[in-house]
Every structure is written in C-alpha cells, then in structure tokens.
Amino acid sequence: MVRQTPKSEETQARIFAAALQVFRERGFEAATMREIAASAHMAVGAAYYYFDSKDALVMAYYERAQNELSPLIDAQLAASRTLEQRLRNIIEQKLDYFEPDRKLVSALTAHIDPAHPLSPFSASTAPVRNSDIAFFKRAIDDSSMKLPKSIQPHLPRLLWLYQMGIFLFWVFDRSRNQERTQLLLAKTLSIVLLGLKLAQLPPLRPLFRPAGELLDTFFGEA
Amino acid sequence: MVRQTPKSEETQARIFAAALQVFRERGFEAATMREIAASAHMAVGAAYYYFDSKDALVMAYYERAQNELSPLIDAQLAASRTLEQRLRNIIEQKLDYFEPDRKLVSALTAHIDPAHPLSPFSASTAPVRNSDIAFFKRAIDDSSMKLPKSIQPHLPRLLWLYQMGIFLFWVFDRSRNQERTQLLLAKTLSIVLLGLKLAQLPPLRPLFRPAGELLDTFFGEA
DNA sequence: GTCTATATGGAGATAGAC
DNA sequence: GTCTATCTCCATATAGAC
C-alpha cells in the first residue's frame, strides 16, 4: 500500500472505487483486474502498484467497513442498556451496514481456513476481528452480569463467535429479506441470554465447570 | 466422467492417482493440471477428458473416501452399544481415515459457501453428506433415547453438524498430534450427551421447546 | 472414443519510461 | 515515485489426429 502524495492518494481512491463498483456488478470471482483497471482508466500494473493483489482490495474494503462501522456501533451501545438489547443492536447494525454488499461479503467469508488471509480467523484480519470483539467486551462490562470466573474471560470471544455464526447464516440466507436470519437471531438470542442467566445462579455453577474447561481448550492458543 | 472400456478406466485411474500424489506433495492450490498430467504421462487435455476440472478431481477423492469409509463406520457401529461410544467411534474413525490427507482435506473444507460445489453444504456434495447423516440416524435409532418430538427429527442432522464442527477444528488444528481436537472431542461429547439426557427428563421438556423451534428455523429449507 | 497440440484469457510480476 | 507495456504461468476450451 502506498500513501504519499495527494496525487497517489487520489489514484488509489479511484482504483478502490472502481474495484468496488466492478465487485458489485460482477461479483468478486467474475471481476478481473483488467476490468477494474480499465474502469479506473489505468493500466493493470497501476492497480497492482497500489494493491498487492485482488484480495488486497477486499482487505481494504473490510478495513474501511470496520472504520465506518465503529462509530455506528458506539452509538448503538450508548443507546441501549440491557445486554440483550446491546447484543441485538450490535448484530443488527452490522447486518444493516453490509446489506447492500451481501454478495461481495460472501467472498470475504467464503474462506474458513485460518491460514487464508481473507478468513475471519486469519492473522491478517486480526485487527478487524479484535476491534469487533472489543464491542462485545464493552457490551458485557457495562452490564451487571456476574459469571463464573471460568467463563467470564472467554465471553467476548464467545459472543463474537456467536455473532459470526449469525452473520454467516445471513450471508448465505436466500429467504426473502433474509427472514430466516431474523427468526434465528430472535430465537438464539433468547437462548443465549437464558444460558447466561442460568450460569449466574450459584447452585447451577458446578454444571458450568465443564463449559469453562471446554472454552479453555477451544480458545487455547488461537 | 467417462467409464467404458478397460483402457479408459485404467487411464482415468492413472490420472486420479497422479493427482492425489501431486496434491499430497504440493497441496491443492500449488498443484497444477500440467504437473498432474505430466506425472500421469498424458497431455493436459487427457486429464480434462476424464475430469471436468481440478475441483472434479477433489470431488472424486471425496466420493472415494465416502465409499471406503462406509464399511469402516458400519463396523464401528456394530462394535458399540451406547450412543456415546457410537458417536465417538464414528468421529474418531473419520479423523483416522483422513489423517494422512489432512492438508488436502483442508482444500475440501476451506469453502463454506453452499453455492460452492466443494462446500460440505453444497448440492453437489449432498449425496456424500446424506450418507454421512445416515450414520448418525442409525446411531440414534438403535439407542434407547426418547427425545421430545420437536427435537427428535432434527437430531441426525444436528449431530452431523456437531461432527462437522469437530472435523473442521481438527483440519486446522496445528497442535502436536491434534491434541487440542482430542480434548475438544472428549469435552464436547460429554456435554452433548448431558444435554440429550436432560432433554429426556419430562419436567425439563418445556425448556427445550425453544430449541425445537430454533432447529425448525435453522434447518427450515436447507 | 481417446487423446494431443494448441489457443484463450486471467492473475500476478517486472522492466523500464517519465 | 507513478505508471505502462509486456511477460510468465495457470485453468480451461477446442480442433482435430488416430
């Protein structure tokens, strides 16, 4: 990535804008670097001068999305009180934001291999992911949840993972207006909240010890 | 796919074998059709005469695996009684079988988009998937589980999904001898079994009604 | 039917013009 | 530093030899 003179910034922005347009029109796979470059009135090499690869263009989109999404989610957090409201708001805000680009986003989330740079679990997407997880930490910290110590520290990542599941379901949800996702969100959210409430009851705590051990294993070194 | 004369069968087998070898040596991405064809002492076109695409070679591998795995899992089912043993045996048999090809398998499972032919959720992989789900149906049917009607019909697919989660974790598990997966399997399996036992207790059944509705939504039209 | 030779168009790399 | 022209290697398609 280059970012120095005003001229280069303008060129880079032009290529990025052209790429987004072509991605939306053709989808990620069908889009060619030739077409993107042509659409930005450039030679192919110019696009590669600013973006290392086709994937890098997607990464740039991802990062821009996170930057634009942050203040929106901040506002959602400020506007809600209960943990349930907050979780719902974070997730719905995210779905809303990506709604126009559902097709493009599927290119981002089509990879599950943590070794693939575009994977939501990869090292390259770690900054975006961590900023995402931080929202859930804030949602929890301001609430009055008193959970077992074995579970508490894993909760932000666990909720992020839950949100990721909903997000993936939504991306590939072909029902009208993604109605199935709406149902799924409502139903899973109440189950999640019920689980959290149960985990707070002292007599039930022993039941949740294996869950803590499970989380230790799962998040072990990831 | 062609399969007529003995000669063609032999050629097809040679190409398939060469492909497997190259996949194992180079990994799926780095393997080229040129190299596969050369390794089979053929022109590139010959490989395409027998296999429509590079992906088709992976599909062939997937199908052969399912054919070879079926009798092995049958044996595991015959040799075990409790549901817990059966689930563990099915899953461990599967991991054992794919152990030598963990790297190759990651190409198979790296796609999550149901629209991608190689995705475990795609239409093209439906036969393999259904045969897989049938194992779990058999494991349940022969056991004495009496679950709520709202959950019962979804259980094979649900357990398949659980097994898929373990499998994906295993594929990308970089710990020595995939020890983290072994731990995860042990811990999740006992939680799953505990959940199933609780779901059988009449006084707790109301608690599991939302779970049934959730499953209806989730498996709705998939 | 089986297979070879060759063509097409894409991602990405790079030499070098300005 | 910016960008163009061009090159390499790839998956895949196809004409046509046998």
The span from the CA of A43 to the CA of A34, in Å, is 8
Question: Is the model's pLDDT at A116 over the cut of 90?
Answer: no
- Whole-number average pLDDT of chain B: 93
Q: Which residue does chain B place closest to A214, by CA atoms? A: B187
Mean pLDDT of B178-204: 94
Surface-to-core class of residue A141, CB atoms within 10 Å of its CB (0-12 exposed, 13-18 middle, 19+ buried): exposed
Within 7 A of a protein CB, which nucleotides of strand D?
1-6, 9-15
User: Domains in chain A, please, with CATH?
Assistant: 1-52 (1.10.10.60), 60-218 (1.10.357.10)
Q: Which nucleotides of C are covered by protein (CB under 7 A)?
A: 1-7, 9-15
- For B204-213, the pLDDT digits (tens) are 888 888 899 9
pLDDT tops 90 at residue A82: yes
pLDDT-derived band at B3 (thresholds 50, 70, 90) equals low
Nearest to B218 among A184, A194, A220 (CB): A184
CB within 8 A of B118, min separation 6: which ones? B55, B58, B59, B62, B107, B108, B111, B124, B125
- Angle at CA of residue B55, ends B50 and B56, nearest 5°: 30
- Say whether the CB atom of A7 is under 7 angstroms from strand D: yes
Asked if B53 CB < 7 A from strand D, the reply is yes
Q: DSSP string spanning B206-221? A: GGGHHHHHHHHHHTS-
Using an 8 Å Cβ cutoff, are B125 and B58 in contact?
A: no
- Nearest-angstrom CA–CA distance, B205 and B34: 59
Average pLDDT, chain A: 92
Higher-confidence residue of B6 and B51: namely: B51
Residue B180 or residue A207, greater confidence: B180
| Among candidate residues A150, A156, A145, the one with its CA nearest the CA of residue A205 | A150
CB contact under 8 A, A213 and B111: no
* The residue to which tokens 């990025």 are assigned: A16
Contacts 24+ apart (CB under 8 A), B78-85: B82/B143, B83/B139, B83/B140, B83/B143, B83/B145, B83/B193, B83/B196, B84/B189, B84/B190, B84/B193
Contact flag, residue A171 CB and nucleic strand C, below 7 A: no
Which of chain A's residues 33-72 bind strand C, using a 7 Å CB cutoff? 33-34, 44-45, 48, 52-55
pLDDT tens-digit series, residues B55-100: 999 999 999 999 999 999 999 999 999 999 999 999 999 999 999 9
- Give residue for tokens 């990464």: A59
Nearest to A94, CA basis, from A133, A146, A36, A46: A133
